[in-house]
């Protein structure tokens, strides 16, 4: 059974991002796939990397990280759901990358494309929201920077198979229900496509089927 690990990072439990994560989870479950939701704020996840957690001779994996790796281990798709703050992912999500996804990996590991038991050959999908418009973000170079410094770097550094990014702009207070419903329908369609894709065989690439928007 294919497994999806959905990592949600938003301080509000009833946020647009939370709705995106829920719709994705509900859809893949209906299609018979396994899904685990990791709501970082509700978990009280500690994003601060400790000195002994650095990938060096004194490396020690913290108990909370070991537990988290057990929960998300074996996932075929890693789904990140988060808002853009100052054109960047929230600090808590970056801490999740540092402590969990990159646990035990050094810069040598990244440079040499060493196999990562958790992530190598797996798919990365990101759903992000921003209060600003796509044209404005494009003018600032924010979108290209995010894709290069976060999505593509994680894909290449962890030897993941693909990195797809679906974004929603102009998301803020007072958003009309019909727009929310339209966006969530898009999430559902993306989830259905991803579920069908990962079952097609080892050479299938999500990125080749659906370019990032």
Q: Which of 2-16, 52-66, 143-157, 159-173 has the highest mean pLDDT?
A: 2-16
pLDDT digits (tens, 9 = 90+) for 11-63: 999 999 999 999 999 999 999 999 999 999 999 999 999 999 988 878 899 99
CA distance 154 to 135: 25
CA 80 from centroid of its chain's CA atoms: 2
Query: What's domain 3-209's superfamily in CATH?
Result: Flavodoxin domain (3.40.50.360)
- Nearest to residue 99, comparing CAs of 45, 157, 18, 28? 45
Give yes or no for residue 203 having a pLDDT over 60: no
Contact 187, 213 (CB under 8 A): no
Please state the rounded mean pLDDT for residues 75-91. 95
Supply the pTM of this predicted model: 0.89
pLDDT attached to residue 63: 95
> How sure is the predictor about 199, in pLDDT bands with cuts at 50, 70 and 90?
low
pLDDT attached to residue 106: 82
Residue 199 vs residue 80, higher pLDDT: 80
Hey, how many other C-beta atoms are within 10 angstroms of the C-beta on 208? 11
């Amino acid at each position: 059974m294919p497994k999806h690990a959905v990592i949600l990072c938003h301080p509000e439990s009833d946020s647009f991002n939370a709705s995106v994560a829920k719709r994705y989870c509900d859809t893949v479950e209906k299609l018979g796939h396994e899904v685990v939701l990791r709501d970082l704020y509700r978990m009280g996840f500690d994003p601060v990397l400790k000195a002994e957690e650095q990938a060096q001779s004194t490396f020690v994996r913290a108990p909370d990280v070991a537990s988290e790796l057990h929960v998300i281990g074996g996932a075929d798709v890693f789904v990140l759901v988060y808002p853009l703050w100052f054109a960047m992912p929230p600090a808590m999500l970056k801490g999740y990358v540092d402590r969990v996804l990159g646990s035990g990996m050094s810069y040598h590991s990244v440079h040499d494309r060493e196999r990562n038991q958790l992530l190598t050959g797996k798919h990365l999908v990101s759903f992000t929201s921003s209060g600003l418009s796509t044209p404005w973000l494009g003018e600032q170079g924010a979108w290209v920077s995010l894709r290069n410094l976060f999505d593509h770097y994680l894909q290449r550094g962890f030897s993941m198979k693909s990195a797809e990014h679906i974004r929603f702009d102009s998301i803020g207070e007072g958003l009309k229900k019909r727009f929310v419903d339209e966006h969530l329908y898009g999430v559902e369609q993306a989830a259905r496509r991803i579920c069908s894709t990962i079952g097609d065989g080892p050479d299938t690439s999500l990125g080749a089927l659906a370019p990032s928007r």
